[in-house]
């Protein structure tokens, strides 16, 4: 007769490592052709699997208390949550941002070696909250203040709205007509583009609507001049995250990266 030995119960911590297996199901060569043909721009209605989108959306209730709202007359109205808060309250998001397979897939589109943004950049990954009527952002480029190129990835998280991402391709190409279009960024949808090439905006939110999207920023060279860093920090302070959040980190005044900014 053998005596069963009770195995110790080991509870493993929930993993935040994203499953990027879905990337293997994409026709990447065809998508790269589209990306190149549209001057480094790609929009996909179905990209992120529903379980990943649901995980991100599940973090929203707690994150709502940390949203920093901004209003710049005639340009922007809305809320943002920076990387520092996401590190603490939504670790799945930085996990996907830094995932090597995920970055390698984006590199296949760009043909460039992509790097994550430095710790000092609050915009490396962030959530945009459009939650009040009229929330929007006006026409702009995602200008690179870095020494190299800056690529933006937008992912739909929540979208119960009529707001659209409007974009104009080839705006700076004098050899051809520009191409204008508009799309809803529903959960699971993505838009990936070279920030200096795609002129874009988000149209105003309607009554009783909600639109929450995620942005990832990748660069080809993470170096940034002092003046460019100052300009970038001012932009992020005024238009997105507030002076305290941006300059406390930029000037190295706080080592407590885990503390969310609650406003
Ligand atoms: Fe933008």
What pLDDT is stored for residue 242 in this prediction?
A: 78
Q: Establish if 263 belongs to a structural domain.
A: no
Task: Identify whether 260 is part of a domain.
Answer: no
166 vs 256: which has the higher pLDDT: 166
What distance in angstroms lies between residue 84's CA and the mean position of ligand 1's atoms?
Answer: 20
Alpha helices in 17-163 (DSSP H): 28-37, 50-58, 60-63, 83-89, 92-98, 100-110
> How many whole angstroms from 201 Cα to the centroid of ligand 1?
7
Flag whether 70 is in a domain.
yes
What's the rounded Cα separation, in Å, for the pair 115 and 48?
Answer: 21
Asked whether the beta carbons of 163 and 204 are under 8 A apart, the reply is yes
- In the prediction, which pLDDT does 110 show? 98
Cα of 161 vs centre of ligand 1, distance in Å, is 18
Q: What is the mean pLDDT of residues 223-241?
A: 79
Contact of 165 with 67, CB cutoff 8 Å: no
Is residue 259 over pLDDT 90?
no
Ligand 1 centroid from CA 190, angstroms: 13
Condensed to tens digits (0 to 9), the pLDDT of residues 20-77 reads 999 999 999 999 999 999 999 999 999 999 999 999 999 999 999 999 998 888 889 9
163 C-alpha to center of ligand 1: Å? 14
pLDDT band at 260 (very low <50, low <70, confident <90, very high): very low
Domain membership of residue 9 (yes or no) is no
CA dist., res. 164 & res. 174, Å (int): 26
Q: Which residue has the higher pLDDT, 252 or 220?
A: 220
Say if CB 188 and CB 46 are below 8 A apart. yes
- Please state, as a whole number, how many other Cβ atoms lie within 10 Å of the Cβ of residue 48: 22
| Ligand 1 center to 198 CA (angstroms) | 9
Is 4 contained in some domain? no
Ligand 1 centroid vs 254 CA: distance in angstroms? Answer: 28
Is 8 within a domain? no
| CA–centroid distance, residue 200 to ligand 1 (Å) | 6
* Beta-strand relationship, 179-183 and 68-72: unpaired
Residues 261 and 263: their CA atoms lie apart, in Å, by: 6
Ligand 1 centroid – CA 113 distance (Å): 22
Q: Which tens digits make up the pLDDT trace of 153-202?
A: 999 999 999 999 999 999 999 999 999 999 999 999 999 999 999 999 99
Q: How far is the CA of 92 from the centre of ligand 1 (A)?
A: 22
- Domain containing residue 38: 28-250
Residue 102 located in a structural domain = yes
Cα(140) to centroid(ligand 1), Å: 6
Give per-residue pLDDT as tens, 206-221.
999 999 999 999 999 9
CATH code where residue 63 lies: 2.60.120.620
Q: How far is the CA of 3 from the centre of ligand 1 (A)?
A: 65
| pLDDT classification of 6: cutoffs 50, 70, 90 | very low
Q: Tell me how far the alpha carbon of residue 232 lies from the centroid of ligand 1, in angstroms.
A: 13
How many structural domains compose the chain?
1
Cα–Cα distance measured from residue 209 to residue 146, given in angstroms and rounded to the nearest whole number: 35
* Ligand 1 midpoint to CA 141 (Å): 6
Q: How far apart are CA 242 and CA 244, in angstroms?
A: 6
């Amino acid at each position: 007769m053998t005596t069963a030995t009770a195995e110790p119960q080991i509870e493993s911590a929930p993993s935040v490592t994203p499953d990027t297996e879905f990337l293997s199901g994409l026709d990447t060569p065809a998508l790269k052709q589209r990306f190149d043909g549209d001057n480094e721009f790609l929009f996909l209605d179905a990209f992120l699997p529903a379980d990943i989108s649901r995980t991100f959306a599940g973090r929203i209730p707690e994150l709502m208390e940390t949203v920093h709202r901004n209003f710049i007359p005639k340009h922007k109205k809305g809320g943002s949550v920076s990387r520092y808060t996401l590190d603490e309250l939504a670790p799945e998001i930085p996990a996907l941002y830094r995932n090597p397979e995920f970055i390698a897939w984006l590199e296949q589109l760009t043909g460039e070696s992509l790097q994550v943004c430095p710790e000092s950049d609050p915009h490396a990954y962030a959530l945009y909250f459009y939650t009040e009527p009229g929330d929007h952002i006006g026409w702009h480029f995602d200008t690179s203040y870095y020494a190299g190129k800056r690529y933006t990835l937008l992912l739909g998280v929540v979208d119960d709205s009529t707001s659209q991402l409007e974009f104009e391709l080839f705006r700076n190409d004098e050899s051809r007509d520009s191409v204008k279009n508009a799309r809803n960024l529903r959960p699971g949808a993505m838009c990936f583009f070279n920030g200096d090439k795609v002129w874009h905006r988000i149209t105003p939110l309607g009554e009783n609507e909600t639109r929450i999207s995620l942005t990832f920023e990748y660069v080809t060279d993470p170096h940034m001049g002092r003046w460019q860093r100052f300009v970038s920090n001012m932009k992020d302070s005024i238009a997105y995250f507030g002076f305290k959040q941006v300059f406390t980190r930029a000037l190295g005044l706080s080592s407590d990266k885990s503390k969310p900014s609650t406003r």
